Amino acid sequence: MTEVDIAIVGAGAAGLAAAGEVAASGCSGVLLEARDRLGGRGWTIPSPVGPLDLGCEWLHSADRNPLVARFEAIGLTIDRTPPPWSDIADSPGLSAQERAAFGDAFMALDERLAAAAEDGGPDRPAAQLLAPGDPWNPLLNAFSAYYNGAEFDEVSLHDYAAYQDSEVDWRVAEGYGTGLIRLAPALPTHLSLPVTTIRHDGPRLVLETPRGAISARAAIVCVPTAILTSGALRFVPELPDTLNAAAGLPLGLADKVFLQLDEPEAFPPESQLFGDPRKTATGAYHLRPLHRPMIEVFLGGAHARSLEGEGPGAAAAFAIEELVALYGSGLRSRVHVLAQTAWAADPFAGGSYSHALPGRAGDRARLATPIDNRLFFAGEACSPDAFSTAHGAWLTGQAAGRAALAALA
């Protein structure tokens, strides 16, 4: 049986950060990853038009995001172009006057959400703050589907308001996933090795894997909440409080489709439009990100789950039909599918990023609570105010690594 001081389960942003703390400490450690690659939900792939981020893409709160300096230090390019959602493009489906009206409706909802979260009242679904009968409610729910991975009726008001964002958003030209992999520390790492059980009923922890067991004085668990609730990773004895907290923080869904353009000059770069602004089941289209000849499509919430259920190719087909409805049938032959995601079907993720269910805003702190000062938890779902982001996951990984080392000391 392999013996180490600290075992880290999961090599996404949180796991890599925790591994960095252990590697710098002089304690022995091992990083165990079920996938055949590092990065978790940070995943960059090559394409004919440049790197594509299938998972996390934006350096949110970039002016205080700790990964910005780290990426720059290893020679990656930080693109500071403003995000496309600040520039809704002209389209046949949304006039300038309507764009302004939607912006007003969005700001009014945001103010109501903030005020309701501060008034000391009980938690409730954020959907209760939608103005009854507002014609923009379907599109506001579509925004929630992209932003939270779920519509507002599944989102905790208090959790939504707890997210802290400086509204400065940048990108990594070489890809966010590329950056995370390059930050991997010099710690023994095993890929394609899922941990199936963690036993904590003896003097040392025992982590069971298909290739044998690992004994550790402490473990840092950095897997998505969907993996915890599915039973893919078991604890013996069971951890009912931890698993209940994970259940209150399900992973929403935000899928992407990438379409290459034959005639990119027909589309304004770095802008966004909606397929049908009067529906929730619609896509958000990022036109020519980083001035590349492509369109990046975002599909979220129940609509994205439905498209995944229809099988491979359904999301791309839907996106192309929405664009054809806006730009004419001639577009059909001038776009080509580069890639598309299916994060709900991913066996090592089960979704995109966490949101707290109504009444469950306190579950982030519960999930992050160590067990017996030797089982520690990290990941974006554990972040109190930067959940759903890679930098939020990174910060929790650093904190869990330091806490584990302090416990051993």
pLDDT-derived band at 120 (thresholds 50, 70, 90) equals confident
The pLDDT, as a whole number, for residue 198 is 98
Calculate mean pLDDT across residues 358-383: 98
Residue among 195, 199, 196, 197 nearest 237 (CA): 199
Same domain? 99 vs 30:
no
Residue range(s) defining the domain that contains residue 145: 84-168+254-345
More confident residue, 251 or 87: 251
Please tell me the total count of domains within the chain: 2
Same domain? 158 vs 270:
yes
CA distance 46 to 34: 22
Whichever domain contains 218, its CATH number is 3.50.50.60
Calculate mean pLDDT across residues 372-379: 98
Q: Domain for residue 30, yes or no?
A: yes
Same domain? 97 vs 246:
no
CA distance 113 to 127: 9
Q: Domain for residue 351, yes or no?
A: no
Q: 208 forms bridges with which residues in the sheet?
A: 197, 213
pLDDT tens digits for range 132-191: 999 999 999 999 999 999 999 999 999 999 999 999 999 999 999 999 999 999 999 999
Calculate mean pLDDT across residues 123-139: 97
The pLDDT, as a whole number, for residue 96 is 87
pLDDT-derived band at 1 (thresholds 50, 70, 90) equals confident
**pLDDT of 303 above 80:** yes
pLDDT-derived band at 25 (thresholds 50, 70, 90) equals very high
Model confidence, pTM: 0.97
Q: Domain for residue 78, yes or no?
A: no
DSSP state of 89: P
CA distance 6 to 217: 6
Same domain? 361 vs 330:
no
DSSP state of 356: P
Last residue of a domain, one of 345, 374, 394: 345
pLDDT tens digits for range 41-96: 999 999 999 999 999 999 999 999 999 999 999 999 999 999 998 778 777 778 88
The pLDDT, as a whole number, for residue 321 is 98
Same domain? 340 vs 364:
no
Same domain? 235 vs 266:
no
The pLDDT, as a whole number, for residue 49 is 98
pLDDT-derived band at 10 (thresholds 50, 70, 90) equals very high
| Amino acid sitting at position 228 | L
